[in-house]
Structure formats: C-alpha cells, structure tokens
Amino acid sequence: MNPHSLVSIADLTKEQILHILDQARYFEDHPGLKVLDGKVVATLFFEPSTRTRLSFETAANRLGARVIGFSDANTTSSSKGETLKDTIIMVSNYVDVIVMRHYLEGAARYATEVTEIPVINAGDGSNQHPSQTILDLYSILKTQGKLDNLTITMVGDLKYGRTVHSLIMALKYFNPTFNFVACDELKMPVEYKEFCVMNGIKYVEHKDFTQEVINSSDIIYMTRVQKERFTDIVEYERVKDLYSLHNSMLVNSRDNLRILHPLPRVNEISYDVDSNPKAYYFQQAKNGLYARQAIICNALGIDILAPDVQSKYVSHE
Ligand code: CP
C-alpha cells in the first residue's frame, strides 16, 4: 500500500488532520498555485456524484494537473466483466494518483492492495468518506473558530451515512458531545457507538428532533435518507421524511449554530432555511475544493507549507 493513500479518516493522526486543514486554508488564500504541473489524476466513480467528483477535478485542474476518469462505470470495460483489480492496475499505468468512489465497503482499501500509486477514497458504500470529513472539519473550524468541545447533532440516516461515520472518528481528538437523532431503522450502528465509548466521547440518542436538541447545538449535521442503500423500498418510504429542518425551528438556536449537510438534500432541509445566515451547506461544499487540493497534494507527497515547496512555487505565484 502506498503510504500516502487516504482510505479511512482513521489513517490520519490528529497532527496530520490539523496540518491538512492548515494546507486547505493556504490553498483558499492562494488560489493560483500550479504545484501539480505534469501530474495526472484519475477520478474513477462507480457511484453517482456531483460535489466530490467535480471538486476533486477542479482541485486538480487548479493545481495544474490533468484529469482522466469516468463518472459512469457502464461506459467502461467494467460492464464487460473487467474486475476492479484489473481496472486499478490498468489505470495505475497512466496516472499519478487515483480518486475512487465505489458502492462496495472496503473497495478503496482493496484498491490500495493492488497498486503502488496512492488511492484516495471518495466514498466506499456506507463505510467511509474521508475527504468529506476533512472539508467538514474545515467548515466547522471556519465557522466556530475551534474544533474542541462542540455539541454536534447528527440527524437522519445515521445507519448508512458514511459522512457521519467518518466525522465521528475524526472528532475523537476534539472532545465532542454528540446528539444522534434517528429512527430505529436508521440508528447509529453499534460499532460507532462502541467507538464513542472506547474514546470517552459523550453521546445521546434521540428519536425526536426536539427544540431542546436544536437549541443546545453548535453544529446540526443533517443527512439524506439514502434510497440507494435500501433493499426494501417500503421501509424507505416509511422513514424518508421523518426528519426535516425548517427555518422556524431555528428561532432560539445559538448564535454560533451552523447547519451542515454533505448534500445532496432531498426533503430534510426546507428551502426556507437557505436564506438563514446559519445555513452553511453550500459554503461547506465550496470548502471541499480547498480541502481536496490539500488532500491530492498530500497523496502526492507535496506539502504546500514546506519551505522548499514554498520557495519553488509561492514566489512565482
Ligand atoms: N457530499 C457528497 O459526497 O456529494 P456527492 O455525492 O454529490 O459527491
């Protein structure tokens, strides 16, 4: 496995996470740095995506790299029966780093075992979405001025939501208090609750999205009920609209509250929230560009804050 691969947020130490956030800040402040001239990035998306793929591709383009890849595996030789292993080996012949989203949990880890080039997990089933976590942390840091000691309320599909799974793991370093708001069918899986217990993280489970929970939160992290993960469509129909945030519910919320959502949304955030200054989900998605610039550079062993990199690129900015 290439040591620069990013498969799970658990692959990163606290110091590494904070350093990537510093790099993201630097890229936000310095948009024109062509540190990846001559590099080629592959984006292999076996599952649909808007933000993740386009922000990774924009990040690579802005850094001077070229991008190849696909957004629909049906247009590739996967549809003729080519295995994931063969696809990864082939693509590794052409590029310097692979960004991959796959519907199978563990697919990104498997990819790292069949190639020497770095692999960035852009989401594997219900498992992990580490680049989303970096942009979520960056968004929390920008809006709260800190990552420590925050009350974070996660709402909706906590069973299949890889973004909340990754975020819990990253926040273990920052003494969070979690509210998990979900119905029985979409409760936070036991392994993540055990993770909280093992790491001394406080959490409370709720079935109701109450005013008390909203008013005590620093961050509300809404999630979509993911139809594509259900095998029983009747169960999906029963739970899909259980939790919905409306502007009127925010009247007595904390001044510092920000509403996050990895997007896309369906019905879980009413459009009347969009104009509330506490709505931050579109800026959050924009932060993904800077976070992913930092993540691609890290995968390629380029530290934009290192003195030699600074003297080579920043002086020519
Ligand atoms: N947040 C996120 O992963 O969005 P996409 O599915 O559009 O990439």
Higher pLDDT, 297 or 31: 297
Q: Cα–Cα distance between 232 and 165 in angstroms, integer?
A: 22
Residues 174 and 269 placed together within one structural domain of the fold: yes
pLDDT in tens, 257-289: 999 999 999 999 999 999 999 999 999 999 999
Residues 168 and 234 placed together within one structural domain of the fold: yes
Strands (E), the chain: 40-45, 66-70, 97-102, 119-124, 151-155, 177-181, 202-206, 219-222, 258-260
Length of the chain in terms of residues written: 317
φ and ψ of 8, to 5 deg:
-130, 150
Strand 177-181 relative to strand 202-206: parallel, antiparallel, unpaired?
A: parallel
Q: How many domains does the chain have?
A: 2
Q: Is residue 84 part of a domain?
A: yes
Confirm whether 162 is a catalytic residue. Answer: no
Strand, helix or coil for residue 269: strand
Residue of 117, 115, 70, 69 lying closest to 97 (CA atoms): 117
Domain with 243 in it: 130-284
The confidence score (pLDDT) of residue 58 equals 98
> In the predicted model, what is the mean pLDDT of the chain?
96
Instruction: Specify the pTM.
Output: 0.95
CB 49 less than 6 A from any atom of ligand 1 = yes
Residue of 45, 126, 63, 32 lying closest to 299 (CA atoms): 63
CB 71 less than 6 A from any atom of ligand 1 = no
CATH code, domain with 251: 3.40.50.1370
CB 51 less than 6 A from any atom of ligand 1 = yes
The confidence score (pLDDT) of residue 231 equals 87
264 Cα: distance to centroid of ligand 1 (angstroms): 6
Residues 162 and 100 placed together within one structural domain of the fold: no
pLDDT in tens, 237-262: 988 989 999 999 999 999 999 999 99
Q: Is residue 2 part of a domain?
A: no
Residues 74 and 169 placed together within one structural domain of the fold: no
